Chains A and B, each alone.
Chain A
Amino acid sequence: MKRVFPTVAAIFAAAVCFAACTPEQTGTEPPREDPDPVPQTDEYDALNEMLSLRYSAIVLTVTDTFGEGVYLKSEYAFSYAEGTKVHYRVERFAEIGEELLPSEKVTLEGEAVVQDGFVVSVTGEEIGFPRVLGKGLTFRKEYFGNTELSGIFLKADVKDVSGFLGAEVACTDMKVEASFLEAFYGIVITYTSAAGSSVEYRFDFTV
């Protein structure tokens, strides 16, 4: 009897271990909320590292085109002395009011200070600047289709908008073109908005 128990115990332990290490043969595996990351290729890792470089200046220009010659253009200039500051100049169309002004654009201008992903202060004219920033752009192979990638440029259709942008945007036909070497020179993202306007984000980097 003494010899049988150790053998049974060993067999039981082995069975437990086996059951723990192998997936069940019947039923479905519970979904994982945080799937393990798919291993990245070197090229996309390098692009993400370029995003985190300290550039002397980055200018983001957003152009929203509504028709022939009708567009709004906004600029956001980033600087990194004493924290991150974003100087913005945002165009809006002017409504015809009591003074019956001719139709024209107005420019709203101001400066936001960013610390640890939060906008801590805004001076100047309010534009509805978001107080909590997203994680920003992320380059991953599975986010793109029809991809052309070399050591100096990326051109692709964006299949996963929220994953790539770090935010939800109602749009169709998003595309990206990026030029780089050791650092980014420029990134251009275009899409058609849900309202039908053509939107372009243009990032210009200065090392």
Chain B
Amino acid sequence: MRMRNKRIAAVLGSFAVLCLAVAAGGARTPASAEDGYYASVTATAGNELLGQIHDLITTTHTYYTSYADCKNPAYVRQTDPGPNGQLMEFYAQAELSSVWKSGAVGTWNREHVWCKSLSNGLWGESGGGSDLLHIRPTESRLNNARGNYKYGVVKSGSEVWYRDESNREIAPGGRVGGGVFEPLDSVKGDVARIVMYVYTHYNTFGNVYGTTNGNGASYYFGTLRFGNVISASNEDAAIALLLEWHELDPVSEIERGRNDAVFGIQGNRNPFVDHPEYAEAIWGETDASGETLEAFRSAVAQIAKDAPLSERFASLGKAISAGKALSEEERAAAEEEIGILTAAIEAYNEAVRAYNAEAERAGAGAIAAAGGMMNG
């Protein structure tokens, strides 16, 4: 009887956890990036792409998790499962106990990848400060070692370690030095994509060319700069470092699984995990369809010097070859020129085919005229 009661209690307990998850997040079936989530994103580059992504991830962010949700075992086991049923620590990428002990040494606590003190006052422990796509479980000593240092390249410093409750070194978790924290190479991309997500989500309209903040409270949003959290000489250098880390450490299965899990809780996704190419398209020099732009550059370089439209193409070609990112107006003009160029090429090729056909007829006549001589 006692055993039967325990079994019933276990079932009821599991059911309660499930109900809690449903009530909290309106449980969604974790979806892949191919399930149409990005259907509204039609732009391919620049601020237009940034704005469309901002609108998407804010409007689909239907449940803003609380800071307490971030240590909810039910959520954490979904978002950061370890290989042996425990938790996957973020900086060391090693497993640690999932038991919450209020951040005691050797146990896990909640890490703000984009530190509270570097958020320009936008978050503490709500809004962006409790977003599951932002907050990560880290070993508390490792968390403390990072402190509120900006991310960057440590030129001279020391290694920091994940230590267990007995203070034994378990796995390295990065380097600190000169007021900078440098994550492991295998974590740099994770950090970059979280930073890009936070920047895209929580920037205000003035900085991001979006049109809505969804249901988020207005005080969740404000002005953010990459230089707030990345150690670099200026904003461009900060972006360059993020893009470098993003490419150095590609999206992992852990990240993809986490994205699906959080989608099922909050309703939104990290677009830089699903579409890594968005990063370069927004902040790099080429757009998402880099091949198309490269082909157009070749067309301008090769054809413009021969075509009667050369003057128009040359000026546009110079702008592109200088590595200048195209604005909406410039892109529209470029697309129009591509259309004109394509028509000019086809007209030229039609003339070529006509010329060659005429030459072939003349050659056939000449060969016929030489017929008798060939039989000589």
Q: Is the CB of A130 within 8 A of B368?
A: yes
Binds B, one of A7-15, A23-31, A149-157, A193-201: A193-201
With A72-B359, A92-B359, A93-B355 in contact, do A201 and B369 touch (Cβ < 8 Å)?
Answer: yes
Contact B364 A78 (CB under 8 A): no
- Which residues of chain B have C-beta atoms less than 8 A from A51's C-beta? 372-373
Q: Does B184 touch A at the CB level, under 8 Å?
A: no
Is B153's CB within 8 Å of the partner chain A? no
Chain B interface SS verdict (over half): helix
Residues in B whose Cβ lies below 8 Å from that of A127: 360, 363
CA separation between A80 and B306, bound complex, in Å?
Answer: 44
B371 contacts A136, CB within 8 Å?
Answer: yes
Contact A117 B371 (CB under 8 A): yes
Chain B residues near A197 (CB-CB < 8 A): 358, 362
Establish whether residues B306 and A199, one from each chain, have CB atoms under 8 Å apart when the complex forms: no
Contact pick for B372, options A52, A55, A72, A74, CB 8 Å: A52
Chain A residue nearest to B350 (CB atoms) is A95
Q: 1/0 per position for B335-376, CB-CB distance to A under 8 A?
A: 000000000010011001111101111111111111111111
- Give the shortest distance, in Å, between B283 (CB) and chain A (any CB): 29
Give complex CA distance A167, B352 in Å.
26
Q: Which of B305, B361, B375 contacts A193 (CB 8 A)?
A: B361
Residues of A118-144 contacting chain B, CB below 8 A: 127-130, 133-138
Residues of chain B with a CB closer than 8 A to A135's CB: 371-372
Q: Which residue of chain A is the closest to B356 with respect to CB atoms?
A: A92
Question: What are the interface flags for B294-306 relative to A under an 8 Å C-beta threshold, 1 for contact and 0 otherwise?
Answer: 0100110011011
Per the bound structure, the CA–CA distance linking A71 and B44 in Å amounts to 45
Q: Could you tell me if B376 and A52 are in contact, using CB atoms closer than 8 angstroms? A: yes
Q: How far is the CB of A196 from chain B (nearest CB, A)?
A: 9
Chain A residues near B (Cβ < 8 Å): 51-55, 58, 60, 62, 64, 66, 70, 72, 74, 76, 78, 80, 84, 86, 90-96, 100-103, 114, 116-117, 127-130, 133-138, 165-167, 169-170, 189, 193, 195, 197, 199, 201, 203
